[in-house]
Structure 1
């Protein structure tokens, strides 16, 4: 009789985009680029916190930019220098080719979903997180902001994110407390030939009056026609800042927002277009503010398809051009609430503090008359 296979301890996935924050918006806006060593250090800090919570396995996406050998070298050094109070998870690389394209992120997210990891830690910007969410299914994510436009991933220290993920992965915090639902924009293109294409955006869908994709990153506003937003935070950078500076919508608040930034059609041949209501200055990239004409705006309701009224153009998902459409195509954008789950880092840390999850047993006295002291999570 075959013995049952031993149950493997919960694993955590990590997807680190090694080339995020290197697109044209970084050049035109004079913004800093995150170096490879910085990404390695972020991963190390997250892994240290995961290990402290008892996570023993980390599955990670390989790359072609040198992150893998640098991380392994630093991890070996950290293990050699660590004391008995520091435990590092075993790092396993996903068995997949590394092409340096977004397909790597799609593939890695699918593999991590199939491996039933407890959660996925994502290093990147809006585009990287969108790629993970598109393929990870019901696996919750924890976002770390390392991209150019970071409206979705909040700026947070990797150690704290690692603690929250680790406590959840080890079952110390229940899903009802540890996880939060997020909104999403679903895009459907019904083409003239009968084909149908679906895609998603986590933050914004922008319609541009262009006829080709060209460079992926969308950073100019003079060709914009409309922007659909799942949420619009006044503190965000990117195209969603147009809505954030106009009519803010919180990421946990019901509904979304659509802003019309170009007239739909001329009044008549050889006459000027309708005038905008006003111009709004918005930070569409780090260090880059541009005036945006506003012709009108309205709220989006959960589950109600909003038809794109422009006859032709290019659609950008979370700031990157992805889809072209023509006058005979039908394009809709639908807001979905409770679309995917993420780790509520702040809630997890508050719960851990309130329930003493980071406390440990007292050490035995080391000698007569010597009081025992609590063992901290880290020395």
Structure 2
């Protein structure tokens, strides 16, 4: 892949986003390759219009990038990277790291919470437009890909000042025993009882034991919606929340020992959840999660904790630099078209 000079935008598209098991067990609609191809195509057009001279697209076995570029003519250089060959989230991690090393100024990531996490794993401080494509999205936004690409191009080219149009997202660090950082998440880390990674996506709510959330907004769908019902914390608020789930049934005397809530844990579905403990977290405050069980990161099973094994989880302020699309577009347009507005009645 060329490393020519000039403002560059990277596009990371996850071919697996929107195709997990939750699509079969909820009211969510699968996301086809055609939808992603169209979004990539429009993001390329927007990025060039926003000031990018190079656009680099992550490669994959589904050839989404090549199919998106078929018949598309735009000025500048547009290339598709060689696939990394994992056909997992590892591809998105490696693509983000590769784009960082090639001097890319901003990334548009197409996918759900898991894809955004993979990009942040590869490039923690990435200037990012998170474009929603997957399931139960909390971190990414529903934005038209054309203006998402434009915003990324404006930041990469300097037509919009990154310091003025980005905000640093929170991130959750998972520290394994011995103090080594094992993984990161952007929305939530959950302890799920059971020893198997399996299909990775969580659909059996009864197995969820504890949740640490950096974002727990009332209008979310997913595991973070449980934390939001108990103690909401917005994406731009300091800290996070720790929730320990309890029992949803009543004891022999008919009393409910835990606080009972209902939350939308999957599209088209509300569930009863017992809350045994709820605590607001400061930045850097560790929560120790103990096995046996599996830690899920942004809804996907990732780390197996054996019996007696532990991991410390903390919410921190140094995550991706998220681009405010509206602010970036407005800043670039003001620079491009410095009109003096007419005074009413003048």
TM-score by length of 1: 0.82
Is 2:84 aligned against 1:97? yes
Matches within 5 A, 1:271-310: 275-308=256-289, 310=290
Runs of 4+ with >4 A deviation: 194-197
Measure, in 1, the Cα distance between the counterparts of 2:199 and 2:285. 31
Counterpart CA distance in 1 for 2:327 and 2:167 is 9
- CA 276–202 in structure 1, closer or farther in 2 if over 3 Å, else same: farther
Shift of residue 294, structure 1, vs aligned partner: 1.0
Contact persistence 1:64–1:99 (CA under 8 A): no
Q: Aligned-pair distance for 1:279?
A: 2.2
Measure the CA separation in 1 of the matches of 2:216 and 2:257: 21
Matches within 5 A, 1:60-79: 60-73=57-70, 76=71, 78-79=72-73
**Cα distance, 1:195–1:138 mapped onto 2, change above 3 Å:** closer
- The within-5 A match list for 1:324-363 is 324-352=304-332, 356-359=334-337
What is residue 29 of structure 2 aligned with on the other side? 32
Measure how far apart 1:311 and its partner are. 4.2
CA distance in 2 between partners of 1:40 and 1:221 (Å): 33
Do residues 55 (structure 1) and 42 (structure 2) align? no
Give the drift of 1:206. Answer: 0.7
1:315-372 superposed Cα distances (whole Å, 9 cap, x missing partner):
100000111112322211111013331212132234345xx235389xxxxxxxxxxx
Match of 2:136 in 1: 149
Could you say what secondary structure the match of 2:205 adopts?
coil
For 1:256 and 1:142, how far apart are their aligned partners in 2? 22
Contact kept in structure 1, 2:246 and 2:258, CA below 8 Å: no
What secondary structure, in the 3-state scheme, does the structure 1 residue paired with 2:301 have? Answer: strand
Change (3 A) 1:7 1:57: closer
Q: Provide the rounded CA distance (Å) in 1 between the counterparts of 2:167 and 2:206.
A: 36
Paired residues, number: 332
Partner secondary structure for residue 270 of structure 2: strand
In 2: Cα distance, 1:351 partner to 1:124 partner: 26
Q: In the alignment, what sits opposite 1:112?
A: 99
Output the CA distance in 2 between the equivalents of 1:45 and 1:288: 33
Q: 1:311 to 1:39 in 2, by over 3 A?
A: closer
Q: What is the deviation of 1:276?
A: 4.1
The answer to whether the 8 A contact 1:188-1:333 is kept is yes
- Partners in 2 of 1:288 and 1:155 — Cα distance? 21
Give the corresponding residue for 1:200.
Answer: 184
Aligned counterpart for 2:301 among listed residues 308, 311, 321: 321
Secondary structure of the structure 2 residue equivalent to 1:199: strand
- The normalised TM-score by structure 2 is 0.89
CA RMSD of aligned residues (A): 2.3
